[in-house]
Amino acid sequence: MINKLVIKGIIDKYYLGEIQSVKWVVKDGNLEIPFMSPSKELIGKITHSNFNIENCELAIFDTKKLSNLISITHGDLLFNLEKTNSVYTKMHFEDEIYSLTYALADPLLIGKVGQVQEPEWDCSIDLTTDNLHHIVKAKNALSGENNTNVMTTHVEEDINGVLQFVLTFGDEHGHNNKVRYQLEGELSKNLEMIPYNSDIFRNILNVNKDMQQGKMLVSYKGLIKLEFKVDEVTSTYYLVRRESTNF
């Protein structure tokens, strides 16, 4: 048995509206799902530490279809797997109303996920659920504007000389509309302005609003690490700076 909300939450945390093909790897009750965005601006991993099914490797080719199937169910689900020889071919879910089958893909069709070598982090910021809500609102306030998928980061001193980590949504150059949001943390001076994809950043925060713990680490080299924990699920994301900008 597994709860529908647990499965749906796991899917949402890696799907992010665009990441379709992944492998679910279960070993000794631990689920691990590595993933990478089509643009390769994002690499991440979702883990669940108490996923009580048999050891397996499940090739999900179309995550949206799986999510749509799961969304019509309610409560606790019977969850079973079907395989031919040693290859898992189907996932079966059943609640009091529906019996669902999702056809698994050939594992060879799922591309490999790149590896991230972590640098020395220059900024460390503990995130609250309020931070997540405020940042998402800041991003959404610019919907319909040009360059709304640009987010820049830098560190500056406020009027009291205290270092602040600044997120700016919208193109920082020229007379375009923009929204700034400041965060406090363990910060280094002279962090230059670095551009990231704000759509991906916003989507990550949106699906992790249920977090119990959250942290953001930033490198001057152009890498953001976001990590969230809720119950037995840990979500880790590495967001790489954008290349096709004027910065």
| 22, amino acid identity | V
Q: What is the mean pLDDT of residues 152-156?
A: 89
Distance from CA of residue 70 to its chain's centroid?
19
Q: What is the pLDDT of residues 73-88, one digit of tens each?
A: 999 999 999 999 889 9
Q: What's the CA gap between 207 and 13, in Å, rounded?
A: 6
Residue 105 has pLDDT above 60, yes or no: yes
Looking at residue 107, the DSSP 8-state letter turns out to be: G
φ and ψ of 8, to 5 deg: -65, -40
Number of other residues whose CB lies within 10 A of the CB of residue 55 = 10
Tokens 């004027």, residue located: 246
Looking at residue 121, its pLDDT comes to 93
Looking at residue 247, its pLDDT comes to 44
Residue 132 has pLDDT above 60, yes or no: yes
Give the confidence band of 144 by pLDDT, cuts at 50, 70, 90: low
Looking at residue 173, its pLDDT comes to 62
Give the confidence band of 175 by pLDDT, cuts at 50, 70, 90: low
| 160, amino acid identity | N
Residue 204 has pLDDT above 80, yes or no: yes
What domains are defined for the chain? Answer: 2-109 (3.10.150.10), 123-240 (3.10.150.10)
Give the confidence band of 183 by pLDDT, cuts at 50, 70, 90: very high
pTM (2 decimals)?
Answer: 0.92
Looking at residue 161, the DSSP 8-state letter turns out to be: S
| End-to-end Cα separation, the chain, in angstroms | 50
Looking at residue 100, its pLDDT comes to 95
Q: What's the CA gap between 183 and 135, in Å, rounded?
A: 10
In three-state secondary structure terms, 136 is: helix
Using an 8 Å Cβ cutoff, are 223 and 119 in contact?
yes
Q: What's the CA gap between 89 and 145, in Å, rounded?
A: 45
82-96, 133-147, 157-171, range with greatest mean pLDDT: 82-96
Lowest average pLDDT, out of 45-54, 153-162, 207-216, 238-247, goes to 238-247
Residue 227 has pLDDT above 80, yes or no: yes
Q: What is the mean pLDDT of residues 174-193?
A: 82
Looking at residue 219, its pLDDT comes to 93
φ and ψ of 68, to 5 deg: -65, -40
Q: What is the mean pLDDT of residues 25-46?
A: 95
Crossing angle for the helix pair 63-71 and 4-15, nearest 10 degrees? 150
Q: What is the mean pLDDT of residues 193-212?
A: 94
Structure tokens at 51: 């996923």
Sort 210 into a burial class: Cβ within 10 Å, 0-12 / 13-18 / 19+.
middle
